[in-house]
Structures are given as C-alpha cells and as structure tokens.
Amino acid sequence: MRIRNATVAEMFNTMADLLEIKGENPFRIRAYRTAAHTIYSLSSDVSELLENGEDLSRLPGIGKDLASKIEQIVMTGQLEVLEELKKEVPFELISLMRIAGLGGKRIKAINRRLGVQSVEQLERAALEHKICKLPGFGEKIERSILDGIKQLREETGTRMKLYDAEEIVNRIRKFLQSENTIDKLIVAGSFRRKRETVRDIDILITTDVPLRVISLFLQFPEIDKVLVRGETRCTVLLNSGMQVDIRVVAKESYGAALHYFTGSKAHNIGIRKMGVRLGLKINEYGIWKEGSRIAGEREEDVFRVVGLPFVEPELREDRGELEAAKNGKLPHLVELHQIRGDLHTHTSRTDGKATIEEMVDTAKALGYEYIAITDHSQRLAMTHGLNENDLALQIDIIDKANDNLKGFRILKGIEVDILEDGTLDLADSILKRLDLTVCSVHSKLNLSRKQQTERVLRAMENPYFTILAHPTGRLINRRAPVEIDMERVLNKAKELHRVVEINSYPDRLDMNDVHCRMAKELGVKVSINTDAHSTNDLNFIRFGVAQARRGWLEPSDVINTRGLNDLLNLLCSIREN
C-alpha cells in the first residue's frame, strides 16, 4: 500500500487535536502540528523517501521520534499512540476544535459536564443557555461559541444534515401555524428530494394574507439576519447558520412552483427542454402554450403536459429518471410503511440505552413483526462488546423472551467486528447459533483501498456472514468514507448472496444513494437498518428509506420488507450458499 502524505499529516494533526483536548504539553502539541505542515508540503511521498533509504529526521521540524512514527504509519497504516489516544479522548470532539475561540480546555469541560460531542450538540447546548452556566464560562463565551459555529459553517459551507434541517423545519412549521392563516406549507429543494445534507431550506406557502405570514415569519425567534424582505418572499439567516427562503405563491401556480423549487436544477432543465419541443413554456409560475396559461395548479400537471407519469422527488437528480419515465420504467420505490422489522439494533447490554424489552415494545408500536438484537462484539471493548460466553447468555435470554411473545419475533444477532485480517471477532461455533450477523469495520479505517477491500471480501467468505453494515464508515461532516472499492464489494455480495446495509443513522446514511443504485443494478439485496442505540433511534428508519428511494430501490430489493417467514427462509438460504 502507498500512504499519502496527506494521510500522515492528518494523523499528526489529529494527534495534536486530541493532545490539546487532553491538556498535554503545548510543545508536544506544536511539534505534531509543525511536522504535519512539513509533510503536507513535501513534494514527494514520504513512503517513497523511505524506500529510497532517506533519513526523514533530516526534514525540518522532524526529529528521530517523529521520523520513526512516520515510518510506523507507512509500514502499518496506523499510528499506535494515536489509536491509544483515541481510546482516552472521544474522537468526535475533534470537530469542535475547528470552532474559533474554543480550545482544548474548554472542549474538555463542555464534554465532561454536558456530554457534548458534536457541533450540533454544542449549538443546542448554547441555544439552551447551558454553556453560560458552566463554571469559568459566561454569556459572552456562550455567544462567541455561537458566532464561531456560524463562522465555521460559512467558511466551510457545511451542508446541514437532513435530520438537523428537519428539526428546524418542524420548529418553523409550528411557529407559522400558530396563526391560522396558512393554506399549504411545503418544503421544496434538496430537503424534499431527501438529500442527506441540505444547503438551505426552501419553503413554499399558499395563503390569502401573504404580508401577514411574512411578517409573522420575521418574528421567528431563531432569525439572526434578514437577507431579503419582500411582499411575498423573504430570505433569512438563522442563528444556526442555516438559510431559509420563504415564498408565498399563488394557488394557480402552486404545482409549477413546487416542481420548479424542488429541483434539482438539472432535472428541471430536462423537463423544460421536453416542454420546448412540444411548444410549451414551463416555469415556476405555470405552463404556457402560445401565450396562454394551460396549467400549473398541481405538480402532476408539469409531468402530464410533457407526457410523463409523476416522478417522485427523490428520483429528480437527472440520473435517467426522465428517460425511465418516458419508457414506463420508473421504479416502484420502497415506502416506509413496507418496512416490517429492523435488523441492526443495540441494547444496554453494550452501548445502547434501552433493554431488549423496551426495544421490542417500540418495534411493536411501529407495527413491526421482528427486530434483530445485534449488540457489539468483544473487540469493541469501550462498548463492553460481548464475548462468546456473553453472547451465549444473550441467546438464552432471547429464546426465553420469544417464548412469551405472540406475533412478534426477536431475532438473535450480533454486530461482529471485521478484524484487520478479514476474520470475524467471534468464533463460528457461536455465530452459527444466531439468526443473522451484522458485520462491520470499526478499526484500522485507514488501510489502503486494496487492503480495506480485501479485508471485507475475505470477511464475506465466512459462512456466517449475513449483512455488511455501514460499508464505508463515513460520518457526515465528520469523517470521510474509508478507501474501499464498493464495486468489488457489491460484486462479491452478489456472488455469495450477502446482504448490504443502508444504515439509517442520520450521521451515517451509509451506503449512500449512488452505492444503493449500484447494488440494485448488480442484484444485491439490501437491508435498511437503524443501528438504533435507543428506542427513539428506531424512528431513524425514515432516513434509510429515503436513501433507498434515492437509490431507486423497490420493496423486492429490501430484505426487511419481507414478512418473518420469508425473511427467515432467506437468512437460511444465505448460509447454505
């Protein structure tokens, strides 16, 4: 494998961040940062320099100790001390280091006292005035933290996760509907297309009293700045850095406006071109033929006039949906209500918050027929991962619990770590007693593409491998996906009849839409799971379903749309392969 300089530099910077949060010696911290900078700006790869027998300690800012660390990274793909440090300091805290005015010391205090781990959680704590009450903090610091978050979002142009945008939308909706003046309120744009992240929130409204609605909205307490203010529209920036656009549209234009502002832009252009060929003008106000308006009140109108059936918003990315619509080949997308169970969940036995009973009760309330309990395996010591004895005990517990259940089944599972060499973290003799396994990579995320891919392919060969969980390990806005050849992975999954997960956790949404589509085209079966760590998390399933829809998946592509018996048959047949 070839380690890139950027990788080495990033590991050193991470070291520095973690040491800073830990409150280590500033000289040591600076040494890592300087070294990172040196390596980043080298013109040749450190791995190449090493191959040529060069002495890295001759580089500026790099002594014997750092040189040997670089060598370790190049040889093994990881840095021992960094791995150790990650066990001590929550890795997520690093994202907070990028907020101006928030050093390691304060991050540590905020984390220890409020459990804050992400920028979003920090923002929430500040908005709820929890930060200013901490000893050594005050209102001024709290405000500067909020400013810092805003600045960070502006600088990095960070797109907000769909889940966070959804929460904002819910608050706006509630606020605007407090007066009974709104006829329709719908969020268009990437939010409606259910992209995993959104840049801004585009809201369309129909009402008889536009001025009144706009002036009410301007009183929304989270507004930081009003950017545009007109009689039927306004654009504001919220404290969170999120931009919101509100447009009041005429009832007769509602459908045309909804289509236009839902986008995507590329999809719109495709539609408009089809219209032009038919002598139609299609814009956000309506549909026109020879200067007179022929339609525009309903969104379906836009598709109808160009001879197409309705195209679901999640498909409107100009990825062949117009072509498919023309040829009657649109997929019948999977829907939330078709999901009959969840196949990746955790309990308080490892790092979840709820007991098996509580998870089961919630699953039943969601109308499910089954839930798989898949706690972590022993390798993840921080989560109190299960060893073979622990798992045997859990199997007994679940068997007993099932005896008392009617019309619902708890499936026995485990989220078993895929070790670096591609073996699984628990013995086959215990795995075979389970209904299914959810297999995932949690360590050595920085292997080369070839090694990472082969590690996963090898794991899939294990006869008790059922589902590949969160295949790329990415965390939206926090951690890039691992280097892995998804096409090879999916081909292998097809060959061995393995299932691949869409992890519905709002930070993960892994596989992404493009990989979902690839899976479908290769004929690989998918499972939409939440990876719930609490009863509430089971509701995240809607995000996974949205991602599946963006990947053109139909119910038959998704194994947990099957009823219990059907699913059990499938799980058995996977093992027989």
Which class for 25: exposed (0-12), middle (13-18), buried (19 or more C-beta within 10 A)? Answer: exposed
**What is d(CA 249, CA 246) in angstroms, rounded to the nearest whole number?**
10
Q: Which one among 17, 196, 202, 425 touches Ca ion, defined by CB under 5 A?
A: 202
DSSP 386: B
3-state class of 308 per DSSP? Answer: coil
For position 199 contacting ligand DGT by CB under 6 A, the verdict is yes
Residue length of the chain:
577
Q: Of 340, 373, 341, which Cα lies nearest the Cα of 357?
A: 373
For position 112 contacting ligand DGT by CB under 6 A, the verdict is no
Q: Which residues contact 550 (CB under 8 A, 6 or more apart)?
A: 193, 194, 195, 314, 315, 317, 513, 516
> Is the Cβ of residue 33 or residue 195 nearer to ligand DGT in the bound state?
195
Please answer whether residues 233 and 247 qualify as being in contact, where contact means their C-beta atoms are separated by less than 8 angstroms: yes
- Beta 526-529 vs 499-503: how paired, if at all? parallel
For position 299 contacting ligand DGT by CB under 6 A, the verdict is no
> Is the Cβ of residue 86 or residue 199 nearer to Ca ion in the bound state?
199
> Is the Cβ of residue 190 or residue 534 nearer to Ca ion in the bound state?
190
- Element containing residue 212 per DSSP (H, E): helix 210-217
Query: Least Å distance between CB 197 and ligand DGT?
Result: 7
Torsions phi, psi for 420 (to 5 deg): -60, -35
| Cα dihedral 67/68/71/76 (nearest 10) | -150
> Is the Cβ of residue 158 or residue 181 nearer to ligand DGT in the bound state?
158
User: HSE-up of 551 (CA within 13 Å, CB side)?
Assistant: 32
> What is the per-residue binding string for Zn ion in 455-484, x denoting contact by CB under 5 A?
------------------------------
> What is the per-residue binding string for ligand DGT in 30-69, x denoting contact by CB under 6 A?
----------------------------------------
Q: Which one among 71, 147, 167, 200 touches Ca ion, defined by CB under 5 A?
A: 200
Q: Which residues contact 327 (CB under 8 A, 6 or more apart)?
A: none
For position 318 contacting ligand DGT by CB under 6 A, the verdict is no
> What is the per-residue binding string for Zn ion in 407-436, x denoting contact by CB under 5 A?
--------x---------------------
Q: Across-strand partners of 370?
A: 341, 409
**What is d(CA 234, CA 214) in angstroms, rounded to the nearest whole number?**
7
* Count of chain residues binding Zn ion (CB under 5 A): 2
Q: Which one among 142, 513, 531, 537 touches Zn ion, defined by CB under 5 A?
A: 531
Q: Which one among 13, 268, 347, 527 touches ligand DGT, defined by CB under 6 A?
A: 268
> What is the per-residue binding string for ligand DGT in 200-239, x denoting contact by CB under 6 A?
x-x-------------------------------------
Query: Least Å distance between CB 190 and Ca ion?
Result: 5
In the range 170-189, which residues lie near ligand DGT by CB under 6 A?
Answer: 189
Q: From the centroid of its chain, how far is CA 425? A: 25
Residue facing Ca ion at closest CB distance: 189
Q: Of 446, 449, 447, 372, which Cα lies nearest the Cα of 416?
A: 372
How many C-beta atoms lie closer than 10 Å to residue 420's C-beta?
16
- Residue 264 binding result from Ca ion, ligand DGT, Zn ion, none, given CB thresholds of 5 to 8 Å by partner type: ligand DGT
Residue facing ligand DGT at closest CB distance: 263
Please answer whether residues 322 and 541 qualify as being in contact, where contact means their C-beta atoms are separated by less than 8 angstroms: no
> What is the per-residue binding string for ligand DGT in 238-267, x denoting contact by CB under 6 A?
----------------------xx-xxx--
Long-range contacts: 290-299, Cβ < 8 Å, 24+?
Answer: 293/252, 295/255, 295/256, 296/252, 296/253, 296/254, 296/255, 296/256, 297/251, 297/252, 297/253, 297/254, 297/255, 298/254, 298/255, 299/254, 299/255, 299/256, 299/258, 299/259
Q: Which one among 6, 211, 227, 269 touches ligand DGT, defined by CB under 6 A?
A: 269
Identity of the amino acid at 102: L
For position 361 contacting ligand DGT by CB under 6 A, the verdict is no
Query: Least Å distance between CB 201 and ligand DGT?
Result: 8
In the range 72-111, which residues lie near ligand DGT by CB under 6 A?
Answer: none
* Count of chain residues binding ligand DGT (CB under 6 A): 14
The structure tokens 């939206």 sit at 476
Query: Least Å distance between CB 339 and ligand DGT?
Result: 26
3-state class of 85 per DSSP? Answer: helix
Query: Least Å distance between CB 376 and Zn ion?
Result: 7
Query: Least Å distance between CB 531 and Zn ion?
Result: 4
In the range 149-168, which residues lie near ligand DGT by CB under 6 A?
Answer: none
> Is the Cβ of residue 158 or residue 443 nearer to ligand DGT in the bound state?
158
Binding residues vs Zn ion (CB under 5 A): 415, 531
Residues in touch with ligand DGT (CB under 6 A): 189-190, 195, 198-200, 202, 260-261, 263-265, 268-269
Tell me which residues touch Ca ion (CB under 5 A): 189-190, 200, 202
